[in-house]
A and B are shown apart, each in its own frame.
Chain A
Amino acid sequence: MTNVKVNSVAKTYGTTPVLSDITTEFPEGSFTSLLGPSGSGKTTLLRIIAGFIKPDQGVITIGNNDVTGIPVWGRNIGMMFQSYALFPHMTIAQNVAFGLERRGIKGAAARKEVDRALEMVHLPGFADRMPKQLSGGQQQRVALARAMVIKPSVLLLDEPLSALDRRLRQEMQVELLRIQRESGLTTIFVTHDQEEALTLSDKVAILDKGRIVQIGEPETVYERPLTRFAAEFLGDSNFLTGTVENGAVRLADGTMVRTTGTLPSGGSNVTLAVRPEKMSIASGPTDGNSLTARITTVIYAGPVLSYLLETADGLPLKLFAQNRDGKVLSDGDTISLTWAAEHTVPVAD
């Protein structure tokens, strides 16, 4: 159980920079998600930490050891792959024992460890089956047992749940979280599923074009996105642009919007992000920010109603509301919407 440090790591393929100067730390026992679109470099970063890829520059430390020059097989990592990657010609027990054998643990001692690992993932009695006799979810559990049984110093997960269907995925998320909490293992998790990232992690790192745009607790990253990309990639966002005037922002139509965030100096242009669920339909005058907009579409999604709106200027907006009274407003209605200054976040473009 150790922390992982990445110090000014960069990787270029040909002339395409995949990672540019990444410096970050994964504290001991933390569960960090690397979140980003494909091509953002999240998988490359994970594979550099694992030791599959050699960075062009920079240093990786696991615990207090510089492992930059150590290949993957010398790093004592536990890894889970998207495709489960169980060895098809070995039984479940042989699969789980593979890493033990490489560490010189054999026979009864290995058997005991294997049984304990299979029990941990709720698959006792599966030892003598072959991987293809197991369902996808069960195979993924075996992969987890195989990665954990070697007592790795860090657990690296490369989109391990993306091949499972929704229900199984949620089940595995709970399982993964339980096992990670019990073991206290530093875990780095690559995903493109933002909900998964928010549910599982202590920390979320958002990557874009080879850089970490923002890293922090899920709540911080979600509530206070630093950039337009972060606000857009993690959840939905409305964006309002205007100029700074007297500590507030004047939109193109003259509306003044207040924010508790730090604004640049007067006269400069600024973009504000507001989450759709932070906006509500005003029934009377409010002391918060407010705008008038016309409903273009109401989307009925069960517990939530999504309103697609448009202001008089043609600015598209989104509003999510709890479904308390059903669909009372319809397309074409003009509404007044309101939101608080503290939910108005200035973001960099």
Chain B
Amino acid sequence: MKTLGPIYLIAILIFLYTPILVMMAMGFNASPLYELPFHFSLQWYDALWDNSILLTAGLNSLVIAGITAVLATALGTMASVALSRRTFRGRSLLQLMLLPPIAIPWLITGTAMLIFFYWTGIGRGMHALLIGHVALAIPYVVLVVGTGFKTIRADLEEAAMSLGSTPVHAFFSVTLPLLYPSILGAALFAFAVSLDQFVISYFLATPGYTTLPVQIYSSIRKGFTPEINAISTVLLLGSMTIILIFARFAKPGDTSDKR
């Protein structure tokens, strides 16, 4: 069993990372048809630099993901404060209703949103994408921040209040600093949920305003070039860097100092 564990883990990592590594490597291969032998070339990166459609879509994706992360984290954290620290009518129901959206297939959510946005006149485009992504990301934020809340004792805020803090001051001086790693993690989650999103984006994007996954999908339908590999590599390295920086500084899961 002892030797089987590491082998199992290695197998998982191989299955996870080999396709990604192959994908990245092919971005540096000269052949447009992914042919071997491998000839190193940066031509696809050059081509990508000139491909304004892919670049614009990539930029759109980052902007949408960034705004989604900020909005969803702010709204979700506020919801989490209410759900964790206040008692009000319908709290349990609200808490329960947060979970199904995570399990509902995106295709269904996307269809529902498209119809709803069409009816209400919200329509499609950047604003619709933002509304959709924020709505989609909030349950994740509430879950992650809510878990963070569970590790912070309520009597810390009470201690602050007994020393003269108003509830607002107690929250900002005691709870928020302790919650900071969870909030950062939640923001990252929201960012990833948005960046990853294809189905809903596909429904809500307009020909003039698309996100990268949607654009990649339409490019693939027209024909496959290693430019896709190039932009995927850029995106992948970008998001991995963010995650590693986060893991290094925020130490998610380290709750030892929160009594």
Residues in chain A within 8 A of chain B (CB atoms): 50, 52, 71-74, 76-79, 81-89, 98-99, 102-103, 130-132, 143, 146-147, 150, 156
Check A73–B164 contact: CB distance below 8 A: yes
B161 touching A72, Cβ below 8 Å: yes
> Judging by beta carbons under 8 Å apart, are A98 and B160 in contact?
yes
Closest residue of chain A to B156, judged by CB? Answer: A85
Contact A132 B174 (CB under 8 A): no
Q: From residue A80, how far is it (CB to closest CB) to chain B in Å?
A: 9
Closest to B164 in A: A102
B132-175 vs A, Cβ < 8 Å mask (1 yes, 0 no): 00000000000000000000010110111111111101000110
Task: From known contacts A89-B177, A89-B257, infer whether A103 and B159 are also in contact, taking CB-CB under 8 Å.
Answer: no
Chosen A-B contacts, 20 in total, with CB atoms closer than 8 Å, are A50-B162, A71-B161, A73-B161, A73-B163, A79-B158, A81-B155, A82-B155, A83-B153, A84-B259, A86-B159, A87-B160, A89-B178, A98-B160, A98-B163, A98-B165, A99-B164, A102-B165, A143-B159, A146-B163, A147-B163
B206-259 with Cβ < 8 A to chain A: 256-259
Q: Contacts A85-B156, A87-B156, A88-B178 known; A77 to B162 CB distance under 8 Å?
A: yes
- Other CB < 8 Å A-B pairs besides A85-B158, A102-B163, 14 of them? A50-B162, A52-B161, A73-B162, A78-B162, A83-B153, A83-B155, A85-B155, A87-B156, A99-B164, A102-B165, A131-B259, A146-B159, A147-B162, A150-B164
In the bound complex, CA of A315 to CA of B235 (Å): 84
**Nearest neighbor of B157 in chain A, beta-carbon distance:** A85
User: Nearest Cβ in chain A — how far from B106, in angstroms?
Assistant: 38
Chain A residues, CB < 8 A from B178: 88-89
Contact status of A130 and B165, CB under 8 A, knowing A52-B158, A81-B158, A87-B159: no
Q: Which residues of B contact A83 (CB under 8 A)?
A: 153, 155, 259
User: When the two chains form their complex, are residues B257 and A99 in contact, meaning their CB atoms are under 8 A apart?
Assistant: no
The residues of B that contact A156 with a CB separation of less than 8 Å are: 162
Q: In the bound complex, how far is the Cα of B256 from the Cα of A52, in angstroms?
A: 28
Tell which of B159, B167, B177 has the most Cβ of chain A within 10 Å.
B159
Q: Are B153's CB and A85's CB within 8 A?
A: yes
Contact partners of B258 in chain A: CB under 8 A: 88
Given A83-B153, A88-B178, are A72 and B257 also a contact pair (CB < 8 Å)? Answer: no
**Inside 8 A of A130's CB, which chain B residues have their CB?**
257
8 tightest Cβ-Cβ pairs between the two chains A and B: A102-B164, A99-B163, A85-B159, A79-B162, A88-B257, A85-B155, A72-B161, A81-B155
Q: Shortest Cβ distance from B160 into chain A, in angstroms?
A: 7
Taking CB atoms, residues of chain A closer than 8 Å to B164 are 73-74, 76, 99, 102-103, 150
The reply to whether B177 and A72 form a contact with Cβ atoms under 8 Å apart is: no
Chain A nearest CB, measured from B60 CB (Å) = 38
Q: In this complex, what residue of A is CB-closest to B257?
A: A88
